Amino acid sequence: MRIALDGPSGAGKSTVAKALAKRLGIIYVDTGALYRTIGLYVRNKGFARTDIANIIACLDEIKLGMEFIDGKQIITLNGKEIGDEIRTGEIAMYASAVSAVPEVRKFLLETQRKIALENSVVMDGRDIGTVIIPDAEVKIFMTASAEARAERRFLELKAKGEDCTYEGVLADIIERDKNDSTRKAAPCVPAQDAIHFDNSGLTVDQSVEKVIEIIESKKR
């Protein structure tokens, strides 16, 4: 079974997808982490996230590895395991920028498709159901209000000790929404046959239960 879970930044896709994969006993693939890893590399090279020419040039220097240990996705960048350094607000903005570059998306496309062909997966991102695995058995477009998503992200970043404000996080969410939905390369839009799910006000457990209901209804 292949489950495509798409939606905008801060909708809780990764959290729900991880819990869902554990419940179903299948692999969770965090595609956003791949873009964040490229964004991290670009930032560490000292390039602006708007420097398209150098972002493309960087791809020849990047060797990504991915393996699954006890169901957990491990990503390596040029042989080094990547940890929480990709989970900052700054790298999230870099990820949004590099994901709009067609050459970056092409660079990652076959890696993602190969995983989905060889495994039962829950894969989350912004173009999973439209581009990566358009023949997925279940496609869900999960969203929430910008305010709800900003509150979740703000609390998450504060818990990690990151210096941020709710207003700043909300502004970033709105900017990412605009960038992700209007980009020419694989914009963040629902697949025509995706089931829409707004989880504003729901807990993680409630969201997981709702997604499982959707999966069961598709099976029937």
**pLDDT tens track for 28-53:** 888 889 999 999 999 999 999 999 99
Please name the residue ranges forming H helices in the chain. Answer: 13-24, 31-44, 52-58, 89-98, 102-118, 146-159, 166-182, 204-219
Mean pLDDT calculated for residue range 109-125: 88
Q: What angle do CA 82, 22, 90 make, to 5 degrees?
A: 30
Cβ neighbours of 155 (radius 10 Å): 12
Angle at 119 between CA 16 and CA 213, to 5 degrees: 40
pLDDT above 80 (res 130) = yes
Mean pLDDT, to the nearest integer, of 165-184? 90
Residue 70 has pLDDT above 80, yes or no: no
Residue 175, SS3 per DSSP:
helix
Within the chain, what is the greatest distance between any pair of CA atoms?
Answer: 52
In this prediction, residue 206 carries a pLDDT of 94
Q: Out of 63-67, 98-102, 191-195, 201-205, which region has the weakest mean confidence (pLDDT)?
A: 63-67
Q: What integer pLDDT is reported at residue 71 of this predicted model?
A: 67
For residue 205, give the 3-state DSSP assignment.
Answer: helix
Average pLDDT of the chain to the nearest whole number: 91
What domains sit in the chain, N to C, each tagged with a CATH number? 2-219 (3.40.50.300)
At 219 the pLDDT is: 80
State the Cα–Cα distance between residues 154 and 165, nearest whole angstrom. 7
pLDDT of residue 55: 97
Of the chain, the percentage scoring pLDDT greater than 90 comes to: 61
Question: For residue 213, what pLDDT is reported?
Answer: 94
Task: Please write the tens of the pLDDT for every residue from 142-173.
Answer: 999 999 999 998 998 899 888 899 999 999 99
